[in-house]
A and B are shown apart, each in its own frame.
Chain A
Amino acid sequence: MSPDFLIALTLISNFMLVATSRVNKAIQIVVVQGVLLGLIPLAMGLGKYFHILLVVLAALVVKGWLIPFLLRRAIREVHIQREVDPYIGYTVSLMLCALGTGLSLILAHMLPLKAGTPVVLLVPAALATLFTGFLVLVSRRKALTQVVGYLVLENGIYLFGLLLVEEMPLLVETGILLDLFVGVFVMGIVINHIRNAFDSTDTRHLAELKD
């Protein structure tokens, strides 16, 4: 399986995520995306390095099992409605996502990168995923979908990290995973607290906290 194929699937999952109207579905897509990204180093033929195998394993376990487990538990405990409840409609979101992806493809060519990048689609896909993550963060109301946005954002950073994967110290990637885990954990707590304080997990209510 060529890495470009996996990256293309990642890009498609971005669009699916933006278009979906169900929280459960969004979580599924993020899990699929995480697993896809976890497999990319193997597809790039880096399976021979032990530390990269470790990274792959960690990514698969954290993104494929631990994070969805935490998110689903949050849904169960907080009784979140299934609607995504966006600020921006699905069609507009799709168009923005397409715009971002196109922009990333153009920008990636203009970036002053090291010559001999292993995979053509890697940089534009990283930028596009980053952009999608931000789009979800900015345009979705629920605290849980915000968590999904952070996850996608992190996936983008992970893709960028693959550029350096051969020299990348294990430490950096572990750092990213740990950071992510803590982020989800904290957001889980925040979600519960928002619900206790406002009887809903709508982040709009946080506006009451400003001066």
Chain B
Amino acid sequence: MRLYLLAMVFVLISGLPGVFLRRWGGEVAAVLMGLGALLGMAAAVRVLAGGPVAVLTLPPAPLASAGLLTLDPIAALFSLPVFLLPACAAIYGIGYWDDHQENARRLRLVLGLLAAFLALLVVSTHALPFLLGWEGMAIAAFLLVMTEDRLPEVQRAGWIYLVCTHTGTLALFGAFAILASVSGHWAFSTLPRAFAGTSQGTALFWLCLFGFGLKAGVMPLHLWLPSTHAAAPSHVSSVMSGVLIKMGILGLVRLLSWIPDPPFWWGATLMVLGALSGILGVAFALGQHDLKRLLAYHSIENIGIILLGLGLGTIGKSTGHPVIQVLGFAGALLHVVNHSLFKGLLFLSAGSVVHALGTRNLEQMGGLGQRMPWTSAAFLAGSWAICGLPPLNGFVSEWFLYVGSFRALGFYPWPWSLVVLTALAIIGALALACFAKAYGAVFQGTPRTRAAEAAHEAPRSMLIPMGILATSCAVIGLAPMLIAPALDRVVGSLGASTDLPPLSLLSSLPSLSILAFLLLGSAWLLWRWLRPAAPGGPLPTWDCGYAAANPRMQYSASSFADGLVGGMRWLLWPRSSGGEVAGTFPSTQAYGSHVPDPVLERIADPVFRVVATGAAFLRFFQGGQVHLYLLYVLLTLLALLLWMVA
């Protein structure tokens, strides 16, 4: 625990020297953050490797608590990305957001704060520090999103985020109040059996699902997520998408760890929500033109996959099938780590594209693979992992879920796990299409704009963190048996009292990694074999025999995805304008298309507009006069006095 607290102090103060230094602020922050990350991850790895659970207890008088902060296996697993991603972001920030960029000092300071609050949140096993970490994290993230606070788009994203996060916290207040009324104290503890079936238990579940789901970006509650991720600086987006939204999952995992006997419908609800977020997330990602919005919708999709796993595990727990429980929870928890690794990697590589081009619009990129080879390789690795293709890490966690669902088919009279299987299959296929579109539009073909033509590779300080993340993805993908014992420990602390079967027995991990190496080897051989004999310099893409093809004739990102987006017109409701060609010699035409967010733009915006109009009469009371406000106070006081006397 001492190591962990020291790590927290390091990340907390990481941005502080930069406030006073004239130069080297970014470097100092990166060093401090990196040191903190090494210490914190060392503490976490020790617990995951079977070391003792560390507890920090305060005297019971003020908080009535035992075990205020606990570095248990759940906390240890979540603290790995919590330390790794901000450290990568800090290194990346040296080159990406140097002192000449606006609010650079504030950004570094608040990034350290965010990391420290996240670290606090992860180890809190008491309602008070948990909420402290939760709110601190939310406010720090708000300040980070607002880095470019002169842009109206950024302001709007920031305020939507602030409103959403506070609504979520309100639900959490309710949840913790129920928890305290059941257990009699504010410390987290296992709840009595049969509690989950009561109406209080149901209320607790829905409050937690709302509060934590809002943070995690589960599909109907994701409205803050796309615009926030697009508006923030890219390394901040990588921390938000990689770590911050996982705190919602952490909350749900904590909830599940308190309940010894969750009802079947809890698992079913989680599963259905997971399928919904997963499929809709990737479907809406297909329609995006903004690279970072596209990645943000993929975060929603991956939260869906994690929820599918949690649902699978919960059903296994409630029906007493430890095999399903282990595979479901292990898949979900590993996907938490995996997603933070590859989504962090994707946001960082997208950031260096944005850095080089100054735009996030996919239609203005192209041909960057030759100009930015390392960034291109990093983005490809991230895409590979997020699509769940072997031999990278995304495959391993989805493999657990597939194995679990197939096993569940044999255990139960009716095949509910088909939901998981179908959803995973649809998600996988659509994700592949979406990343083919993104990678193709950004890195393949020929440059569509002059800025893309003049693009240059990112500096080394931005490539190193991408390298760290890509290597981690590869290690988990190639040697999953290394992390299986750690996952067993986490799942064990989530499970009921019975001893659970180890993961390595259930999922044949060594053969997976042997297969992975075989695949890699044969791919390399194939590449050697098919490589053109005499390359003779870069050649243009084959233009089907047309003469003088220009960059505007290639597939654009929208046209690539149009087949799928058009096929899902009933679901996505895309809007398009222009593009009608008439006559023999048509004049210049413009065409635009847009896939609006279903919740934010179709539900929340109109509803709140009506509410605002309806509440306009309340402005009458805001006269702007101090005297008037004081008069309100006086009248209220008088009324209260008279009411008390009467």
Chains A and B form a bound pair: yes
Question: Quick one: which of B622, B624, B631 contacts A138, CB cutoff 8 A?
Answer: B631
Report the Cα distance A87→B623, complex, angstroms.
15
The answer to whether the Cβ of B627 comes within 8 Å of any Cβ in the partner chain is: yes
A interface majority secondary structure: helix
The answer to whether the Cβ of A20 comes within 8 Å of any Cβ in the partner chain is: no
| A87 engages B627 (CB within 8 Å) | yes
Most B CB atoms within 10 A — which of A141, A146, A203, A207? A207
Question: Quick one: which of B622, B627, B634 contacts A211, CB cutoff 8 A?
Answer: B622
Using a CB-CB cutoff of 8 Å, which residues 180-211 of chain A contact chain B? 203-204, 206-211
Q: List the B side residues contacting A107 at CB < 8 Å.
A: 641-642, 645
Using a CB-CB cutoff of 8 Å, which residues 115-153 of chain A contact chain B? 134, 137-139, 141, 146
Knowing A206-B624, A207-B625 touch, does A138 contact B645 (C-beta < 8 A)?
no
The answer to whether the Cβ of B630 comes within 8 Å of any Cβ in the partner chain is: yes
Using a CB-CB cutoff of 8 Å, which residues 597-646 of chain B contact chain A? 619, 622-627, 630-631, 633-634, 637, 641-642, 644-645
Q: List the A side residues contacting B619 at CB < 8 Å.
A: 211
Q: List the A side residues contacting B624 at CB < 8 Å.
A: 206-210
**For residue A134, which residue of chain B has the nearest CB?**
B634
| B623 engages A138 (CB within 8 Å) | no
| A210 engages B630 (CB within 8 Å) | no
Q: How many residues of A contact B (CB 8 A)?
A: 18
Q: List the B side residues contacting A111 at CB < 8 Å.
A: 644-645
The answer to whether the Cβ of A110 comes within 8 Å of any Cβ in the partner chain is: yes
Q: List the B side residues contacting A204 at CB < 8 Å.
A: 625
Task: Write the nearest CB–CB distance from B403 to chain A, whole angstroms.
Answer: 58
Using a CB-CB cutoff of 8 Å, which residues 219-277 of chain B contact chain A? none
Report the Cα distance A111→B645, complex, angstroms.
6
**For residue A104, which residue of chain B has the nearest CB?**
B641
| A139 engages B627 (CB within 8 Å) | yes
Q: List the B side residues contacting A209 at CB < 8 Å.
A: 624
Knowing A107-B641, A107-B645 touch, does A134 contact B630 (C-beta < 8 A)?
yes
Report the Cα distance A210→B626, complex, angstroms.
11
Knowing A204-B625, A206-B624, A211-B619 touch, does A138 contact B630 (C-beta < 8 A)?
yes
| B626 engages A203 (CB within 8 Å) | yes
Q: List the A side residues contacting B637 at CB < 8 Å.
A: 134
Most B CB atoms within 10 A — which of A138, A210, A211? A138
Q: List the B side residues contacting A206 at CB < 8 Å.
A: 624-626
| B622 engages A210 (CB within 8 Å) | yes
| B641 engages A138 (CB within 8 Å) | no
Using a CB-CB cutoff of 8 Å, which residues 66-114 of chain A contact chain B? 87, 107, 110-111
In the A-B complex, list the 4 residue pairs whose CB atoms are closest, starting with the nearest.
A210-B624, A207-B624, A134-B634, A110-B645
B contacts, CB < 8 Å to A: 619, 622-627, 630-631, 633-634, 637, 641-642, 644-645
A contacts, CB < 8 Å to B: 87, 107, 110-111, 134, 137-139, 141, 146, 203-204, 206-211
Sample of 18 further A-B pairs with CB below 8 A, known A111-B644, A137-B634, A211-B622: A87-B627, A107-B642, A107-B645, A111-B645, A138-B627, A138-B630, A138-B631, A139-B627, A146-B626, A203-B625, A203-B627, A204-B625, A206-B624, A207-B623, A207-B624, A207-B625, A208-B624, A211-B619
- Report 25 cross-chain contacts, Cβ distance below 8 Å, ordered by A residue: A87-B627, A107-B642, A107-B645, A110-B645, A134-B630, A134-B633, A134-B634, A137-B627, A137-B634, A138-B627, A138-B630, A138-B631, A138-B634, A141-B627, A146-B626, A203-B627, A204-B625, A206-B625, A207-B623, A208-B624, A209-B624, A210-B622, A210-B624, A211-B619, A211-B622
